[in-house]
A and B are shown apart, each in its own frame.
Chain A
């Protein structure tokens, strides 16, 4: 009898529990928008600056009580996936994190900011941005991004290791030859009780370092019209050869597996080419790491060639509140906010903030020569504005460069194979894309 009763009650109980579960599952976790307020969504990657952003949102809402801002944070590794899924479903955020590196790819999503930038040029202090950075914000003369951060390729070095080896510190007029001479002297092979030192790091799997050499040697990735690959020019090959020679002929750049970041942090690398300014706070956490930066060494054809990259914000093409999104964008990139971002430990796209940072340098601050970082900006170039630049570089070119630096290909062979691959790609898809 008891058994019967239990059997009878069992399924209704399961159903009731399931119903409760579904009721809870169907509950939306999004608070309903306040009536009368305009809702702006802002998608950003999860960043250490999160507290700063939340503070900005609170302050902005206080100044504009008729606007509500929803900040959606997504882990960086999944940022593109999430953003595109939202956009495909017609839920693109009003404001989103972007930058010049992905600009060509994000163009279909981005609103042309030119009329707003020109209208409010004085208010945003357009002239306050470094001219090179202003150029990097544009695509075919139109503005699509407003900057918060900038990164510029630099020569990083470990002062203690230079002192120990008796090598004079890098100067602003260093050439490639000086880099080689210092690198060879600083390299100290590992022994049983000494892990050893490498003269310089080596950036693999990314174009940052080798593209610098290609450009400094007078080469380029594309022909000026962007229709052909130019990596097989003698100048470009000279740049590639220098990248390979650093490793295989002069043997002063660390082989694969010695991560440049860890190596530099642990004083196993005396120098680091290109680097990234967002690592500065990490370096400064190591008490005995006495490091500094210098202008990149001058190449055979020019000093110019290091990379310049901007990170900032764009507004969705289909936003329903373009004026409000623009107000938020201006608020996030205004000088006061830029100053706070700089205090977090990197360099700023604004000249006024740069002046404050250089002026505040005290003895013992690292890096000492922060002015060199700002000086480097005028010799830096953004990546080519080619619609398929990133996939061309990562899918087609980079594997050949990786093979070259492992010694499997000569610079000529790598250039040949990369050029043929890129040209086949461009011939098939230029204009429409795959």
Chain B
């Protein structure tokens, strides 16, 4: 906020001073926040608006859609309770359900590790004292800024079969490239590649996290004779693990919910969403079509809650596992 750097520096100095007092072993400290009731008071004061926002803007619609998952609802007529029929149809009869599950899982399994790894790699490079760092950072973030309608059209041009940039480059090497975007085998890998252009978001998060790694630690490790990998493994990685955790959790949630990209991919080529031959029929896209193209709001809600259950389970697992490898401040 408007607090000047010098001001908080002063307070930092003051804190630093008291820190030494606190840290003295055996010294009795008075911490007003040891009082649970005071903590609860401040907790609800600070988190209250967010919790209220959740109750106001999220909880209601979420519960409503949970109810609709057990209904036949065409948006006009009142919802009509049909028990588990939506779920039964999805799991046992719908020819598009399992293919869309498969597309989404394959995408998530491939895209998240690749995106997180390349974001981390580039962030590490950009954290080095290279010349014109600011410019490099801007360049690597650039594709993430472009409006989707325009950028997807550009990517489709790059991968176009006839005269696309990639196939021209391949032709120089004497290779005839396939019809990347319209072949059932290549369309999904191409979408993974397109999505990787947008690794700017996790990269910026990593860059922020790397700022929290004190330089002395590197120097100390350097003196101890640790090589680059050792320094990364034992200094950088533990210290940025909260940020890495964040990127993995959000990356997985985002990948499982992919919709915009898949929709724009079809639209930019004048293809029916999900084509060719369901190769890019992401779960989110399938759900959108059920909800808004075919009027099956109940079925779409059932799909949404199945996905919700999967995401909750994976995220819970992520949080569970994180206790083993994520290190927070003391």
Contacts and interface: CB of A to CB of B under 8 A. Distances in A.
Given A390-B294, A424-B93, A256 B72 contact: no
Interface stretch (B104-112, B226-234, B248-256, B265-273): B265-273
Given A398-B272, A429-B89, A433-B72, A257 B181 contact: yes
A200 to B, nearest CB: 16
B86 to A, nearest CB: 7
A132 interface: no
A432 B72 contact: yes
Given A390-B294, A399-B278, A204 B182 contact: yes
From DSSP, what is the main secondary structure of chain B's interface residues?
loop
Contacts of B183: 256-257, 406
A108 B179 contact: no
B276 interface: yes
A395 B184 contact: no
Interface stretch (A79-87, A291-299, A321-329): A79-87
Chain B interface size, as a band, is: 35 or more
A391 interface: yes
B269 A259 contact: yes
A434 interface: yes
A84 B75 CA distance: 7
B162 interface: yes
Given A257-B161, A396-B95, A88 B179 contact: no
A29 interface: no
Nearest to B276: A402
Contacts of B82: 432
B72 A257 contact: no
B292 to A, nearest CB: 4
Contact of A10 (B2, B162, B181, B294): B2
A87 B75 contact: yes
B1 A108 contact: no
Most buried by A among B263, B267, B270, B299: B270
A109 interface: yes
Interface in B273-301: 275-278, 289-290, 292-296, 298-299
B76 A87 contact: yes
Given A402-B275, A402-B276, A425-B93, A80 B76 contact: no
Interface string A67-89: 00000000001001100100110
Nearest to A398: B272
A421 B94 CA distance: 9
A406 B276 CA distance: 10
Given A84-B295, A258-B162, A421-B95, A108 B276 contact: no
Contact of A3 (B7, B76, B99, B270): B7
Interface of A: 3, 6, 10, 77, 80-81, 84, 87-88, 105, 108-109, 195, 204-206, 255-259, 261, 268, 388, 390-391, 394-396, 398-399, 402-403, 406, 421, 424-425, 428-429, 432-434
For the complex of A and B, the 10 pairs showing the least CB-CB separation, nearest first, are A257-B179, A257-B161, A402-B277, A256-B182, A108-B76, A205-B275, A81-B292, A399-B277, A257-B182, A205-B272
Given A205-B271, A257-B160, A434-B298, 16 more contacts: A10-B2, A81-B292, A87-B75, A87-B76, A108-B77, A204-B182, A205-B272, A256-B161, A257-B179, A394-B272, A399-B99, A406-B277, A428-B93, A432-B82, A433-B74, A434-B299
